[in-house]
A = this chain, B = another copy of it.
Amino acid sequence: MLIGHQTWRFDKKPVIIQTGTVGGPFEAKGKIPNAFDLLHDDIWLKQDSFEKAQQMMMEEACQIAIKKSDISIGQVKFFISGDLINQITPTTFAAKTMDLPYFGLFSACATSTESLALAAAIINGDGADYILSGTSSHNAAAERQFRYPTEYGGQKPPTAQWTVTGAGCALVAKEGNGPVVTAATIGKVVDMGLTDPFNMGGAMAPAAVDTIETHLKERDVNASFYDLIITGDLGHIGRKVSLDLLRERGIDISDEQYVDCGLTIYREDQPILAGASGPACSAIGMYGHFLRLMEQGEVNRMLVVATGSLHSPMSMQQKDTIPCIAHAVAIESGSDPS
């Protein structure tokens, strides 16, 4: 399974047999409403906290994936998930509802690919036949925790991003029909000294570049091996920074081939500033949009690189820099996996 230092090749080719995606009202007005299996018209989901609304979306995404498949929840062996909220409480309460053996993760916005890489590794090692892997975020829960009460109406700089309200999950299986997970590269923490929590795209870009470069080298392929290289939520600024860095390092990557989930979900006329973010951003982009392009035959091979910024203004000092991480997962169409 291990090739190089930090890349896995999954010889048994775990399959994404189903996915589930849920979003909120702001996402419903975005560019890809069809990427969602379920859209809510109320960000509260009739709950009494945003975190409970987030929990419910995570549960719904899993239930949808199960319902669309031909297996029952009782056949699922593990739930591998996390989110952005302190102590990943929404995920934990969702795990309680689903009553599945549970691995709690924390990689902030890189959780979608951390959980998918682990699910694929466990299945590849005969540790399970079915695993639910996913993540969620909620705009208002993230704003409350990381920034200011939204009622203050504070101005944000143009480098800031909009946290996606939603959840996305994959039902990964040992056998079945669907796109296959062929490889993964686990990232290192990259910290270039940035301290501005309103420019996460810029802070995360070098982590994405590091993981992409390592992945291509350890898998011994060129960027052109992939139809798409999809970053999680770098937004306009992070996308530009990372593209420049990749080209500086000699990686030949085209503008069309390099896409970002954070620029895929919303319309340009929505007030999202530099783009979309949050763990759900890459999960919904990957499972709701790009995998459907693969189903439709428009894409054969893609590398999804979710990036997370792991700074905590609560427990470390404000002057601390923002350590970031990116995990990459390669997904190929089941019809002709390499």
Question: Shortest Cβ distance from A28 into chain B, in angstroms?
Answer: 25
Residue contact A317 to B48, C-beta cutoff 8 Å:
yes
- Any B CB within 8 A of the CB of A33: no
B contact residues around A224 at 8 Å (CB): none
Give Cα A326 to B136, complex, Å: 23
- Any B CB within 8 A of the CB of A125: yes
Residue contact B124 to A106, C-beta cutoff 8 Å:
no
- Any B CB within 8 A of the CB of A103: yes
Task: Choose one: B104, B188, B317; the contact of A106 (CB below 8 Å).
Answer: B104
Residue contact A103 to B314, C-beta cutoff 8 Å:
no
Give Cα A187 to B325, complex, Å: 27
Task: Choose one: B92, B102, B105, B122; the contact of A104 (CB below 8 Å).
Answer: B105
- Any B CB within 8 A of the CB of A96: yes
- Any B CB within 8 A of the CB of A179: no
Range, interface on chain A: 35 or more
Residue contact B312 to A86, C-beta cutoff 8 Å:
yes
Task: Choose one: B51, B86, B93, B103; the contact of A86 (CB below 8 Å).
Answer: B86
B contact residues around A89 at 8 Å (CB): 310-312, 315-316
Known A-B contacts A2-B77, A77-B2; the reply to A114 vs B104 at CB < 8 A is yes
Residue contact A87 to B310, C-beta cutoff 8 Å:
yes
Task: Choose one: B85, B121, B188, B320; the contact of A125 (CB below 8 Å).
Answer: B121
B contact residues around A86 at 8 Å (CB): 86-87, 312, 314-315
B contact residues around A48 at 8 Å (CB): 317
Residue contact A105 to B103, C-beta cutoff 8 Å:
yes
Task: Choose one: B85, B104, B191, B314; the contact of A107 (CB below 8 Å).
Answer: B104
Known A-B contacts A126-B125, A316-B52; the reply to A106 vs B78 at CB < 8 A is no
**Least CB separation from A48: chain B residue:** B317
Residue contact A316 to B103, C-beta cutoff 8 Å:
no
Give Cα A206 to B179, complex, Å: 40
Annotate A87-113 by CB proximity to B: 1 below 8 A, 0 otherwise: 111101101100111111111100000
Chain A contacts with B in 103-143, Cβ cutoff 8 A: 103-108, 114, 118, 121-122, 124-129, 141
B contact residues around A114 at 8 Å (CB): 103-104
B contact residues around A125 at 8 Å (CB): 1, 121-122, 124-127
**Least CB separation from A124: chain B residue:** B125
B contact residues around A141 at 8 Å (CB): 315
- Any B CB within 8 A of the CB of A6: yes
B contact residues around A314 at 8 Å (CB): 86-87, 145
**Least CB separation from A51: chain B residue:** B315
Q: Which 6 A-B pairs have the closest CB atoms?
A: A125-B125, A86-B86, A96-B189, A6-B101, A89-B312, A101-B186
21 contacts between A and B (CB under 8 A): A1-B125, A2-B127, A2-B128, A5-B77, A48-B317, A51-B315, A78-B186, A86-B87, A87-B310, A92-B323, A93-B320, A100-B188, A101-B188, A103-B118, A104-B310, A121-B121, A121-B127, A125-B125, A141-B315, A145-B314, A145-B315
